[in-house]
Amino acid sequence: MSAIKIFRSCVMTGVLVMLLLIGGRFFLTGYKRYVVNQNKKAVLTRRANLLNQQQSERKQKMHHIFRVNRFVNNAKLLGLEKRRWAVYHVDIQDAVTFTEMKRNLMQCTNSASRYFRPVSFHIKSLKATHNNAGIGNKNETSEMLFKNKTGDILMTLKGAFVVREEAITNDN
């Protein structure tokens, strides 16, 4: 009997060891799959976040494109296309009276069909130049260019008038 008990305990121990090994194998295989699935989940989560970010960026870009297109269409409806505007460059350098200077500056005001794009504006008193000429602080350029001109101010005005084409045809 004792041999049977020993045999039985050895068989039981062997069965338990086998069950332990088989259980360990299943546990390790399952754990390995768990780790692989965790990594797959992390990769898929990153991909989903990236796709969501790209989708929101695409929506923002489409919104900006829509706004730009709407602005361009409104500009076209208002006649703000480059081909519908004429540019007239202005380069005035002359001795003028105060009244003439005021008239010239009033003509540079903006309206719905035209506007003035200034580049430079400079005024200099001619009377001060003539008074200083006797002192020895001679400004020869203004005297040479405008010796025969009458006026109070040496006005230099550079820029461009931008005029809507319809306004030109309506004025004629």
Beta-carbon count within 10 A of 17 CB: 10
Q: Are 100 and 162 part of one and the same domain?
A: yes
Q: Are 26 and 63 part of one and the same domain?
A: yes
Q: Which residues contact 167 (CB under 8 A, 6 or more apart)?
A: 113, 114
Task: Convert the pLDDT of each residue in 77-103 to its tens digit.
Answer: 877 777 878 889 999 898 888 888 889
Q: Are 108 and 94 part of one and the same domain?
A: yes
Q: Are 90 and 116 part of one and the same domain?
A: yes
Confidence of residue 9 (pLDDT cuts 50, 70, 90): confident
17 lies in which domain range?
A: 1-78
Task: Convert the pLDDT of each residue in 97-149 to its tens digit.
Answer: 888 888 988 888 888 788 889 999 999 887 765 555 555 555 544 444 544 46
Domain end call among 58, 78, 98: 78
Q: Which of 107, 148, 136, 141 is nearest to 124 (CA)?
A: 141
Q: Flag the least confident range among 16-20, 37-41, 50-54, 106-110.
A: 106-110
Q: Which residues contact 146 (CB under 8 A, 6 or more apart)?
A: 94, 95, 126, 154
Q: Are 53 and 132 part of one and the same domain?
A: no
Question: For residues 156 and 120, is the Cβ–Cβ distance under 8 A?
Answer: yes
Res. 7: pLDDT tops 90? no
Task: Convert the pLDDT of each residue in 58-77 to its tens digit.
Answer: 999 999 999 999 998 998 88
Q: Are 167 and 86 part of one and the same domain?
A: yes
Coil/strand/helix, residue 103: helix
Please compute the mean of the pLDDT values over residues 19-26 and round it to a whole number. 94
Coil/strand/helix, residue 134: coil
Q: Are 66 and 98 part of one and the same domain?
A: no
- Count of domains for the chain: 2
Q: Are 141 and 115 part of one and the same domain?
A: yes
Q: Are 66 and 16 part of one and the same domain?
A: yes
Residue type, 5: K
Q: Are 93 and 162 part of one and the same domain?
A: yes
Domain end call among 78, 101, 116: 78
Q: Are 62 and 88 part of one and the same domain?
A: no
- What is the pTM (predicted TM-score) of this model? 0.45
Q: Are 56 and 94 part of one and the same domain?
A: no
Domain end call among 35, 51, 78: 78
